[in-house]
Amino acid sequence: MYISNVFLLILIFASSAGVQAQLSVKKESFLPGKVWYDVDGDTINAHGGGFYYQDGIYYWYGEHKSRNSLAEVGVRVYSSKDLLNWKNEGVALAVSTDASSEITSGSVIERPKVIYNKKTRKYVLWFHLELKDRGYEAARTGVAVSDSPVGPFEYVKSYRPNAGVWPQNFSEHQKTKENATELRYEWWTGEWGKALEDGLYVRRDFEEGQMSRDMTVFVDDDNKAYHIHSSEENQTLHISLLTDDYLDFTDTWVRVQPGGQNEAPAVFKSGDYYYMVTSGLTGWDPNAARSFRAKSMLGPWESLGNPAKGKDADVTFNSQSTFILPVEGRKDTFIFMADRWNPKNHKDGRYVWLPLAIKNNSPEIKWIDEWNLNERRYVRQTESEK
């Protein structure tokens, strides 16, 4: 009996070691929607991700998820030289053990994005923050800093952006209009919709600051940084110019697509245009993506429709945008990065990365089962895309 048990343990150990070795094999292609393992054979846990490139290394920052959507660990960071094989660099921003902290365990920390400030030589991490036990009512954005791209990041503070400041594309009439009647309108009625477009929630939140939920940040060629976030009860996008140190908001900001219900903004630049891809407003369920372009980050932004093409385009291949990455050293090569959420087990959310092309000054995304960056060749396509 003893010998049999020992033999069984040896078999189990050998089997586990074999699986681990198999998972650790160097990857040569992207497999959208499949489980993605790091170089140690562990599942990559970096949802709602943001990406930063420096000195030949890409850094992937994302929400470390457990079964639910609450922050229990913080923001995790991975590094890679080829975008395929990722090393776990640990926790970039850890939740606090102080119950009074805004980022205490049980808060909500989403969509982390990192940019580098050349003047201060600091790495700046922005993220959507919801306070513990308050659901999604806080609607704040938080910021942290570090001397290293892998952290640890030190939490600075959170904001309701643009308190006491009107948007640049707001009329004098909109600034002085009273909200007394409009605030009583029922949601989704025509009267409410017109009032929303006319700045109902901008006026309501003027003193406290505007709401900020799904967000991203973008650094332009002139090193000016912009904070793009879903605001006004998730009905309208706001784009705000950050201060020179990237840690605060200037008085320059605009509303984009009032009442358009855009979430999950991802911004990039190609040629003469700035482009933005967003999702609609359907909670954890996927929907058809939207795309926009402008000659300036502050707009005006022109609607281009759904950039996804082919089968399942109406649900963006069952995913939601988080980032669009320009591949270093490859002109006009972009990767659309998205999350396939699993609200029953958030840790098991998958990553959908697909090539994004610019055709006739509009972004276009098609599904590919397996692909790589070598000469932009696609390894295997679905029958519907051949």
CATH fold group of domain 265-386: Tachylectin-2; Chain A (2.115.10)
In the 3-class helix/strand/coil scheme, how is the chain assigned residue by residue? CHHHHHHHHHHHHHHHHHHHHHHCCCCCCECCCCCCECCCCCECCCEEEEEEEECCEEEEEEECCCCCCCCCCEEEEEEECCCCCCEEEEEEEECECCCCCCCECCCEEEEEEEEEECCCCEEEEEEEEECCCCCCCCCEEEEEEECCCCCCCEEEEEECCCCCCCCCCCCHHHHHCCCCCHHHCCCCCHHHHHHHHCCHHHHHCCCCCCCCCCEEEEECCCCCEEEEEEECCCCEEEEEEECCCCCCEEEEEEEECCCCCCEEEEEEEECCEEEEEEECCCCCCCCCCEEEEECCCCCCCEEEECCEECCCHHHCCCCEEEEEEECCCCCCCEEEEEEECCCCCHHHCEEEEEEEEEECCEEEEECCCEECCHHHCCCECCHHHC
Return d(Cα 190, Cα 153) in angstroms, integer: 45
pLDDT digits (tens, 9 = 90+) for 9-27: 444 444 444 444 445 679 9
pTM above 0.75, yes or no: yes
Annotation: CATH topology of 41-159? Tachylectin-2; Chain A (2.115.10)
Looking at residue 24, what is its pLDDT? 61
How is the chain split into domains, by residue range?
Answer: 41-159, 165-261, 265-386
Q: What is the pLDDT of residue 375?
A: 55
The parts of the chain modelled with pLDDT lower than 50 are 1-4, 6-22, 380-386
What are the tens digits of pLDDT across the range 164-175? 999 999 999 999
Q: Please give the structure tokens belonging to residue 61.
A: 């920052």
Q: Which residues, in sequence order, are CB contacts of 381 under 8 Å at separation 6+?
A: 368, 369
Domains 41-159 and 265-386 share a fold: yes
Residue 386: predicted pLDDT: 38
Strands across the sheet containing 87-94: 47-54, 57-63, 74-80, 87-94
Res 94: pLDDT:
98
